[in-house]
Amino acid sequence: MAERSDCIFCRIVAGEIPADVVHEDEHTVAFRDLDPKAPVHVLVIPRRHIASISDAADTDAAVMGALLLAARDVAAVEGVAEGGYRLVVNTGAAANQTVHHVHVHVMGGRDMRWPPG
């Protein structure tokens, strides 16, 4: 799906809304969460609008893989790779997905409990 003017993350990709960008590549952009829940809390998103994991097509395999590899790189640059970090992809209403543009939360810098709330 093309960029959507009603999608806040598409507008960040387009540079229409400021964000603290920490990583960019061909497929992804990563920026600090506006409301961090951990000392390191970065969101990795695809440049192209995909509403959720459930909306990803088989042909999106490259971009979905790029999201995980970008998350790996963000964790390393942010200094949490060695100690450990958590990747979260909230998907749908029951998981409290509030922004309907796929995003991987990269969270670290504190102990993570299991199970999550």
Catalytic (active-site) positions = 103
The nearest distance, CB 93 to ligand DGP, in angstroms, is 11
At 57, the amino acid letter reads A
Task: Cite the beta strand spans of 2-103 per DSSP E.
Answer: 21-24, 28-32, 40-46, 85-88
CA distances (Å), origin 22, targets 7, 81, 94, 95, 100: 20, 15, 29, 26, 21
Stretch that binds ligand DGP, among 29-37, 44-52, 57-65, 69-77 (CB under 6 A): 29-37
Query: x-or-dash pattern for ligand DGP, window 48-87, by CB under 6 A?
Result: ----------------------------------------
> Considering only residues 3-22, where is the footprint of ligand DGP by CB under 6 A?
8, 17, 19
